[in-house]
Structure 1
Amino acid sequence: MTRNRARQRENGVRVIICVGDFDAETLGGLKAAIAHPEVRRLVLDVTTVTFADSSMLNVMILLLRTGRLVLTGPIAAQLGRLLDLTGAGPLFPTADTVEAARVL
């Protein structure tokens, strides 16, 4: 089961808690949650991601290119392996907590 819970804050930070598997068939909810240009920072809590493939990585890279993305964790093991295997891990700004990600 894939689930996203998004919270909008008045200071322009949107926190999205990603839960479950993320692949080409299950990314619709995440894409809808991030499609708000008025949001100045997107915080993805990826602690409970159980599976992520290249489709998820592609969305994350597109968000990274906007300069608005911060990952918060700890990053789930499977997503961490994907980031390690692709060498993309160091590209992503990360924070230990949602609160810390809000101010990065």
Structure 2
Amino acid sequence: MEQQVRVLPDEDGVRVIVCAGDFDQDTLALLDQACTHAADDPGVRRIVLDVTQVAFADSSMLNLMVRMLHTGRLVLAGPVPEQLGWLLDLTQVRAVLPTADGIEAARAL
């Protein structure tokens, strides 16, 4: 699957970042940049990361999600794909990561 990172227009202080494809240390740059910009923007009160189309994620993406989690503004929009879910379960990050079914539900959290 071709990797893709799209940033949707902000609505009410919520920035949605849609990511698709494989994310590892060699392919994380665009997603990292989008997340960092969102975290650095004082007008963004919530960062929604749509992971429904993530085909593969390694510890590099996990590290990025944990860094964004520390901002207190990250919510995952799922459903979370099986491989990413396995990584989140293995590392016990899923237990502390706010997750919603779909973008609209994530915006509302």
Structures share fold, TM-score greater than 0.5: yes
Structure 2 gap ranges (5+): none
**Following the alignment from structure 1 to structure 2, what is the Cα–Cα distance between the partners of residues 3 and 91?**
26
- Residue 63 of structure 1 aligns to a residue in which SS? helix
Q: Deviation string for 1:31-78 (max 9, x for gaps)?
A: 111213232111011111000000000000000000010001100111
Aligned structure 1 segments of 4 or more residues deviating by more than 4 angstroms = none
Q: Does 1:89 align with 2:94?
A: yes
**2:10 paired with 1:9:** yes
Provide TM-score, normalisation by structure 1: 0.94
2:85 pairs with 67, 77, 80, which one? 80
- State the partner residue of 2:24: 23
Residue 67 of structure 1, aligned match among 50, 69, 72: 72
Unaligned runs of at least 5 residues, structure 1:
none
- Structure-2-length-normalised TM-score: 0.90
Tell me the CA shift for residue 6 of structure 1: 0.7
**AA of the residue aligned to 2:74:** L
Residue correspondences, number: 104
